[in-house]
Structure 1
Amino acid sequence: MAGPLNEFLESESDGLTQAVSVSELNHQLKAVVEGTFPMMWVAGEVTDVAKPRSGHIYFTLKDDDSQIRAVMWRNVASRLRFELENGQSILCFGGLEIYTVRGTYQIVVRKAQPQGVGALQLAFEKLKARLNAEGLFSIERKQSLPKHPRRVGVITSPSGAAVHDFLVAADDRMVGAEIFVIPAQVQGNGAAETIVRGLKAAAMIRPKLDVVIVARGGGSLEDLWCFNEEAVVRAIAQCPIPTVSAVGHEVDVTLSDLAADVRALTPTDAATKVFADRSGMVQRVRDLDRRLRRAMRYEIERRRMALQSLAGHPAMTKPMEIVHLRSRLVDELDQRAKSAIDRRLQQSKSDVATLAASLAALSPLNTLARGYSVTSDSGGNAISHASQLKAGQRVTTRLANGSFESVVDKIDSD
């Protein structure tokens, strides 16, 4: 037994001399794992989401039996079209990575999308709900289109089919309108910015535009995504000019459609909504012409009958007769006024004479004329009683004709 024991002890001794460090072991594992496992899709439920200020996202993917840590670097997280939240079932595309510092492994996510619903569709629904809560799609804030616009702006690609379809349809309907094509990129990176600039340019055109149309032909959700960008949707909602969204086909509904004042199913449909039917306008003009002529004939006939009635009036047939009649009436009124004045004067004279007689009867001068006199003291006060006099007092006596002064010599109060 000594032989095998010695061999074992010798092998252990050789192993000790060949031991590796923890770092070396982890780096060897890193090389094996990352070189063995290719990039793959992994399905699982999100939990333990952490979003530090660095912009990276750390989370755990799990199923009923296992779990794995995952990381999404900032450059990937910034392009994510949905909000990563606990409890979501997602598909992650990435590769395994050994984190040698802790000796753990994780999946580095390069792409992610919700299971069952595409990432774009989920982003669409989330942004739609948020903007709707702000009232951006409210009917109350929408403007009406003018009945007969004279200046119309179209924001679209100048080389696309949308502008051609719109112009062909508009040419069959419009009457004397101007159309301004405002170039914009309608697909791909940077498209949203050009559409926003186009809306700002449309608002600055003078004289002012009557309607602005944002147009594009049909396409997939990805192709039309720039019309779901928040900046574009807000620019359409805030545009001071009535807006029409004509993006895609009938089945395509973008957030721009919901924010615009009017949604058109196609660019051709936009032309029919903006411009009234030319044949209908012609018929309308003809109807108005007939009504105007009929009203003019009626008014002319009414005025003719009124003139005939005036022509038979005495004022027109015998104008001097009315003048003479009025002159005679004025003379009669003048005579009646003079008679009334004379009667009033005679009555007034009689009244004055009566009052004069009454006044004369009450006058103290009449009493003096019958031999009476009035004696007064030096103050002009009438003396009616002997007790008012004193011996030697000077008094004045007024007669009917003149007066004299005397001195009281004797007073008899009897």
Structure 2
Amino acid sequence: METKYLSVQALTKYIKRKFDADPHLHAVYVKGEISNFKQHTSGHMYFTLKDNKARILAVMFARSNQGMKFKPENGMKVLIKASVTVYEPSGQYQMYVHEMKPDGIGDLYLAYEQLKKKLEQEGLFSPKFKLPIPKYPKTIGVITSPTGAAIRDILTTIKRRYPIAKIIIFPALVQGDAAAPSIVQAINQANLQEPPIDVLIVGRGGGSIEELWAFNEEEVARAIFSSQVPIISAVGHETDFTIADFVADLRAPTPTGAAELSAPNIEDVMERILSRRARLIRAAKEKVDVQKTRFQQIQKSYAFRYPKVLHEQKMEQLDRQKELLLRNMKKFQEKQTEKWMLFTKQLERNHPSELVKKADSDLNVLEKNLKRNMMLIYNQKTHRFQSLIQTMDALSPLKIMERGYNLAYLDNGKLLSSIKQLKENDKLEVKLSDGSIEAKVIKIKE
């Protein structure tokens, strides 16, 4: 009996019918973690739903995701309702998602966010620590898998754009548990390279978050930050962001983009060189023309044609300037001499000996004035004193007593002014102008 062989298409169709005929696959409820998420410009979402032991491709068409209030992201845990069928062109089974809601965050994504926050707070992402990428590198280092598509893209791009650069490849594992130590060792080795490397590309091609996880490890981030060679990160596709991208001195969207950023296009460089060469030649020619024109003008100038006459004129001007200088010097000297004499006279007038003589003269004058004024005041006071003595003498009781008057005092020393102060046999003292007498009252009459 002849064996009948099926075509791949026929087998795939048969399997697809089996899937479509199973009612249990029309509405399945699955939970898992999103990976490799991409949203097409049409609005359709393509991703992988996975757990620790398996993964499955999934599609959510735009008509199904229009009402969603959140945007799915890599690492997000979700709960979905979907149907399972076979995609014939690739022969893979996949889910067509009808509904989706979040179910927390995946372990890897959570670890990514935590490390990102920690390193950002430490300043590893700060622009002030970013090293500049040299414009014209002599040596470019590449750290990636030596067998992946990324190294081929980088080498092809650099050789096409900047073939004069030397490329040194530092092979490293870029996936798996040993990848992070391998990348760190390659970075350290590149920093010790002699002669030194000008710029270093670190990266790999696209993949899931698990496949790119080595570039989210803390030891890799710190090795990139500590590198003395500027580093361009080139991890995954344009939508993939790793911790290495934030720490690196420059992030490229893809490995090919990193190659383009690491070195200029040789054609552009040559074009700039030729343009600047032309500008230099043109500027030099213009400079020569200007100097030539100036030289011709000098040749035609009066000084160049008649140097002897000009020399004579200058000599005459020099003689006049000398005369003017001498005249001004003489005037200046006379003026300074006059000032000097004036200052000398002022100095003589203000000399200490002259000041002492003047002070001595002023003192004599003041002394004479003082004596004269003192004598005048003395005479005035003497005359006044004599006048007061005469007045006092005229008013003195002794003068009155010389005319026959006398004063009587009681025993107690009081002046007798009334007979009422006396009684018979009282003693009195009678003062006359030339002495005094003691008396006794014999009889009192009113």
Q: Which residue of 2 aligns with 1:307?
A: 295
Partner of 1:159: 147
Q: Distance in 2 between matches of 1:193 and 1:337?
A: 88
| Correspondent of 1:213 among 187, 201, 217 | 201
> Distance in 1 between the 2:185 and 2:285 partners?
56
Residue 171 (1) aligns with residue 159 (2): yes
Structure 2: tracts of 5 or more residues without a match: 1-30, 32-76, 78-102, 329-446
Deviation per CA, 1:4-50: give whole Å up to 9, x if none.
xxxxxxxxxxxxxxxxxxxxxxxxxxxxxxxxxxxxxxx9xxxxxxx
Is 1:318 matched up with 2:302? no
Which range moves more in the overlay, 324-333 or 225-234? 324-333
Instruction: From the superposition, tell whether residues 318 and 211 of structure 1 become closer, same or farther in structure 2 (CA, over 3 Å).
Output: same
Q: For 1:205-354, what aligned pairs fall within 5 Å after superposition?
A: 205-326=193-314
Correspondence for 1:194: 182
Which deviations, in whole Å up to 9, do the C-alpha atoms of 1:296-323 show, x marking residues without a partner? 2211111011101111223322333334
Once the two structures are superposed, the pairs formed by residues 30-179 of structure 1 within 5 Å of their partners are 116-179=104-167
**Distance in 1 between residues matched to 2:319 and 2:244, nearest whole Å:** 89
Matched positions, count: 229
Change (3 A) 1:229 1:309: same
Q: CA deviation at 1:330?
A: 6.4
| SS of aligned partner of 1:172 | helix
Q: Matched residues in 2 for 1:336 and 1:269: separation?
A: 79
State the Cα deviation string for residues 170-191 of structure 1 (Å, max 9, x = none): 1111152111111211112222
Distance (whole Å) between structure 2 residues aligned to residue 257 and residue 283 of structure 1: 32
Distance 1:220 1:327, change over 3 A: closer
Distance 2:112 2:319 in 1: 98
Partner of 1:183: 171
Aligned-residue CA RMSD in angstroms?
A: 3.0
1:251 deviates by 2.6
Displacement of 1:275 in angstroms is 1.7
Quickly say closer, same or farther: Cα 1:334–1:260, change in 2 above 3 A: closer
Once the two structures are TM-superposed, the CA of residue 206 in structure 1 deviates from its matched residue by 2.8
Specify which structure has the higher proportion of helix.
Answer: 2
Amino acid at match of 2:202: V
Q: Which residue of 1 aligns with 2:93?
A: none
Instruction: Say which SS state the counterpart of residue 251 (structure 1) adopts.
Output: coil
Distance in 2 between the 1:121 and 1:336 partners? 94
d(CA) in 1 for partners of 2:228, 2:326: 80
Q: Distance in 1 between matches of 2:206 and 2:157?
A: 17
| Residues 324 and 215 of structure 1, relative CA distance in 2, 3 Å threshold | same
- The code of the aligned residue for 2:218 comes to E
3-state SS of paired residue (1:249): coil
TM-score, with length taken from structure 2: 0.47
Structure 1 residues 330, 135: CA separation in 2 closer, same or farther (over 3 Å shift)? closer
Indicate the residue corresponding to 2:428 in structure 1. Answer: none
Q: TM-score, normalised by structure 1?
A: 0.50
Q: Is the CA contact (8 Å cut-off) linking 1:163 and 1:215 kept in structure 2?
A: no
Distance 1:162 1:335, change over 3 A: closer
CA distance, structure 1, for counterparts of residue 323 and residue 238 of structure 2: 96
Q: 1:240 to 1:338 in 2, by over 3 A?
A: closer
User: Structure 2 counterpart of 1:254, which letter?
Assistant: T
Cα displacement string for residues 133-191 of structure 1 (whole angstroms, at most 9, x for unaligned residues): 21212233222312222221111122222111101011111152111111211112222
Give the direction of change, closer, same or farther, for the CA distance of 1:333–1:274 in structure 2 (3 Å limit).
closer
- Tell me if the contact between 1:145 and 1:211 (Cα under 8 Å) persists in the aligned partners: yes
Gaps of 5+ in 1: 1-42, 44-88, 90-114, 341-414
Which residue number corresponds to residue 63 of structure 1? Answer: none
Shift of 1:294: 2.2
Instruction: Classify 1:220/1:326 alpha carbon distance in 2 versus 1 (closer, same or farther; 3 Å).
Output: closer
**Would the alpha carbon gap of residues 198 and 314 (structure 1) be closer, same or farther in structure 2, given more than 3 Å must change?**
same
Query: Are residues 162 and 321 of structure 1, via their aligned partners in 2, closer, same or farther at CA, if it must alter by over 3 Å?
Result: same
Mean CA deviation greater in 286-295 or 173-182: 286-295
Cα offset, 1:274, TM superposition: 1.5
Amino acid at match of 2:119: L
Change over 3 Å in CA distance of 1:320–1:119 after alignment to 2: same
Can you list the C-alpha shifts for 1:176-214, whole angstroms capped at 9, x where unaligned?
A: 211111121111222211211111111122332221110
Q: Percent identity?
A: 40
Supply the distance in 2 between the matched residues of 1:320 and 1:297 (Cα, whole angstroms): 35
For the structure 1 residues 330 and 140, does the alpha-carbon distance in structure 2 shift closer, same or farther, using more than 3 Å as the test?
closer
Structure number with bigger Rg = 2
Q: 1:256, 1:337 → 2: CA distance?
A: 80
Aligned to 1:52: none
CA distance in 1, matches of 2:278, 2:324: 63
Q: Note the alpha carbon deviations across 1:244-291, whole angstroms, 9 max, x for none.
A: 110112232111111111111211111111122333323322322332
Question: Relative to 1, partners in 2 of residues 1:202 and 1:323: Cα closer, same or farther, differing over 3 Å?
Answer: same
